Amino acid sequence: VSKAAQIRPSLELRNEAIAALVLPDLKPVWRKKATDAGYQSACLDGELQKYAVVDSHGAIIVHSVSDDRVLTQLADNGGPSDWLTFSPDERRLAVHSRSGVVRLWDLATGKSPLNVSGLAVRGAAAFTTDSEGLAVAQTNGVVTIYATATGAPLHSIKSGMPEGTIAFDKDGDRL
């Protein structure tokens, strides 16, 4: 312990220590050959209980991980997609189509309260930690946060970053 205390702390040492702690926890929990079925995008929910897929025509299907049964099928998303993600409360699904549209789906009703297009959406989006908002980034560096229940815009922020990903911190205080 005394030798460890004498090691000069650095950012590199910190990053290596964090990486060493995280890697042993990684293990496969589920495997699916989604590409065999013609799926373009897929994602798992946070509890690893369900997964969503989008096929090459834009059909969105949510399945149970345990028995692969279909839980819900949503209307056409407008073509293939680049990514999709469940909200933290797992009640909604955000999908980005290759045509540049970000659409939010309510999984209980199958309705889409939000359809963002024509804003040069770059495909970066993040749910607020309480699942009540969806931040969508545009190529002009503006990030708009929409209410997930209604699709109404809540805030717009000029990020100054035309490319990259966005995320909220764990407390949901910062984007």
pTM higher than 0.85: no
Mean pLDDT taken over the chain: 79
Share of the chain above pLDDT 70, in %: 76
Q: What is the predicted pLDDT for the residue at 14? A: 76
Q: Measure the CA–CA gap between 85 and 104, rounded to whole angstroms.
A: 10
Instruction: Output phi, psi for 25, to 5 deg.
Output: -80, -15
Q: Give the residue-averaged pLDDT of 84-105.
A: 87
Confirm if 155 and 145 have CB atoms less than 8 A apart: yes
What DSSP letter does each residue of 22-52 carry, written as one string?
A: HGGG--------GGGGTEEEEEE-TTSSEEE
Q: What is the predicted pLDDT for the residue at 158? A: 86
pLDDT of 37 over the 80 cut:
no
pLDDT of 94 over the 80 cut:
yes
